[in-house]
Structure 1
């Protein structure tokens, strides 16, 4: 439905009553998954859900606004990162988050704005224009709420991820009035072989003045895309590195990635085969965006299980993991659990690590029998020590 060229055109659309704002950038991450189900969910969400901007922590002398525009996603791992940032931030700051709630009244307002911007959405067929206009309408309403906030009293804005809707909108508005803008790394960003994935927006849609990153590995990836190194500051992984007690049981794990069902199925097939060959139990850790129904047909016997264990409980049980291009690879390293990475033609270079890549069960068995401990080297490159004090100047 939308290829890279069309997404680029959508980002360039200008709405007359929103000068200097690219609503196309705001909705960009929502244009990649074009299944009927996903489109239907997004249309319903755009029309029937209203955003609520709430100040949770307020300091009358604050010079910084920490803005969590992804709070509504109900991702505890995201909340932890924002909390860690606040605990390390020496600037006096306010904290604001966005939640959403169902509202029948918002339907009329959003339909009105969808029709109002329909003519401005040029170069698309009728169905695409209507879909994009409806997505636009949701954030036009949010724009009105943000414009009512006295942002001029701040010097700095820190968002969770400026590639996502509310954070992108807040960043654009804040930059327009002269605030210095920052955003966080929240997954292992990588330059993709194909940019037709929502993950590409981490760099395609990076508009803040500076990004706080986990380690040098992320900076090296962004340099490949042409960014200047001055736009990055290493803060370390904004998440306390846990200490766990490892259970000495024959169990290994699979870490599934988001929006990649085809590769996830390949990973599970390899893992089920491996489980039979080494006679170990397999635990499959789902990505929060995914569904067990996509994979249940691949399991057989009584040694393979999907798990809802907490992060600490999961990593305490497994002696190694296999994964693809997912930030959970670094969770595994941080928990001192070896993690091997499935390799195919689309694997990003950042995940091509000697001694950790495999393409088949036989490859993986060879790696397991000749395991070399590289956890410290990998951790130091990807996950720098956490900054104890983050000061915005």
Structure 2
């Protein structure tokens, strides 16, 4: 027979111990790139959603810090759908300098993940992907600051007065015979493109015969943070009200960076052959979002050059991330790539396209996935390797068209 009195006492103490085991957790986004709104904390679960300030409709960028007062497992559940990749979330233990994906046994569904804190007052940053801000760039570029082949200056001051970096890489011993322009973060949330840019810079300054030959003939300009304010403020950037940076090439530009590109780049390229590549990340997951691809231009002649470039990239790549011709170009008119997507204003590639046949040889948007590429896990390292593949393909393309 069960002793009801003893069972009641046992359950009482078990309940007390269970309640005592739930510690306290502090959540904030008070740092550059931070974003997140806490709805509630119930038991061991934090309910949150992305801050959509200044954004039309929904989007999915979030990046917050959690400090647990004791070792324990906490659960994090979004109150908005579609704000996590197929890998759930990424975390950083060093304040956002290095990121990794959560253990997949803690990826508990489309909108929830768990994490076990191992120490007292341990601070962990969480995000839907692997954030990259000014401090990450500064740490990376420091090792190249004395390299004479790299000129680091300012494109302009942002609308809020921040310095917008501009890198030009070449050997500078003779006049360039071609130019390459690479732009990142037109949409502030699209942070994985910066790891691609790091790979591009690493390759350009590697001293390999292919890269040395490219720098003998070409100047490569890189703008790593077009929406610098959005990156540092932790904005979505995509679908910004009244229009975002990649719809700001029509009429009078409202952002200092796009205005500067429109006035300066034609002078910089002159009549020389040039390539313009705009790096983006797509939507968060699913079809057309889990592989890298070029976005087909409305001009059929430019799209033909994109196909040519896609084939070169597919055939010449050395890194582990797959890029193939079957998925490597989303033709204009397919899926989301239609005229209706650009009603708020021209994107960079439409603006650059006006120079086709007048120096411009190729302009393209490249969509690089946040987390999954053809069932491969995307990391900072293999994103850098993809960047190396990308600039090698650009070098081959320029050599072929000369």
Structure with greater strand share of residues: 2
- The answer to whether the superposition gives a TM-score over 0.5 is no
Structure with greater helix share of residues: 1
Q: How does the TM-score come out when normalised to structure 2?
A: 0.30
Q: How does the TM-score come out when normalised to structure 1?
A: 0.31
